[in-house]
Amino acid sequence: SSELTQDPAVSVALGQTVRITCQGDTLRSSYASWYQQKPGEAPVLVIYGKNNRPSGIPDRFSGSSSGNTASLTITGAQAEDEADYYCNSRDSSGDHQRVFGGGTKLTVL
Amino acid sequence: QVQLIQSGAEVKKPGASVKVSCKVSGYILSKLSIHWVRQAPGKGLQWVGGFDPENGETIYAQKFQGRVTMTEDTSTDTAYMELSSLRSDDTAVYYCAIDAHYYDSSGYDYNWFDPWGQGTLVTVSS
């Protein structure tokens, strides 16, 4: 099965822009979806597809993809964006399995 | 709007089985694809399995094959995940989520999980 690799931790100054990345071979033919998870809460979808935001997600969240890397960008990070972020995609092996990245802990300074 | 309501916390002994439920509110279960994801304490998200409408079968992560069974009761719009031969490292919060899948015009495919249930803590301890 495929793997998705994320940096364990990233930090950003309040109001600045941060990019969280996710690498994996499956991303050459599948877009990633991204989830925000705060302590003690269920994950929340923030980006899916090429760059789609569910209703209620601020437009400072955006997604992009190039080669085997998907990125989640937060433009003008806010204190409430401090959370764990996970990428997810379909396995490239053809059996339709799903796979998650290991997660990135975002700290807003 | 669609909501997923999960059953309450469970405490099980090693070797036992646990069955977690996920009730769909606001939609019809038979029109949805429910997947299960777990999260061990302090760890990341791990996909367990779910229904794949492309082949009409339930698919399981290789790690859980032989120990997990996912079923549905369409009369009550409730999905179930049963995990057997429990070990201490099965201690985790188990989430159900609705999986959607799409192919775009460039040939890329993608899936997403939305919404999620509130989670069910399963503790395995002697």
Residue-wise pLDDT for B8-27, tens only, equals 999 999 999 999 999 999 99
Residues linked to residue B11 through DSSP beta bridges, in sequence order: B123
Contact predicate B124/B90, CB 8 Å: yes
Q: Output the pLDDT for position B69.
A: 98
Rounded distance, CA B81 to CA A12, Å? 39
pLDDT tens for B54-81 read 888 999 999 999 999 999 999 999 999 9
Which of B35, B94, B113, B121 to mutate to test binding with chain A, by most A CBs within 10 Å of its CB? B113
Q: Output the pLDDT for position B108.
A: 83
Look over chain B and give the mean of its residue pLDDT values, rounded to a whole number. Answer: 95
Task: Please identify every stretch of chain A with a pLDDT value under 70, giving residue numbers as ranges.
Answer: 1-2, 94
Q: How many CA atoms lie within 13 A of B97 on its CB side?
A: 27
**Mean pLDDT over residues B28-48, rounded?**
96
Closest to B22 measured CA to CA, from B123, B115, B117: B117
pLDDT bucket at B89, cuts 50 / 70 / 90: very high
Closest B-chain CA to A99: B47
Strands A44-47 and A33-37: antiparallel
In B29-124, which residue ranges form alpha helices assigned H by DSSP?
A: none
Say yes or no for a CB contact (<8 Å) between A100 and B35. no
Q: Does B61 reach chain A within 8 Å, measured CB to CB?
A: yes
Contact predicate B46/B107, CB 8 Å: no
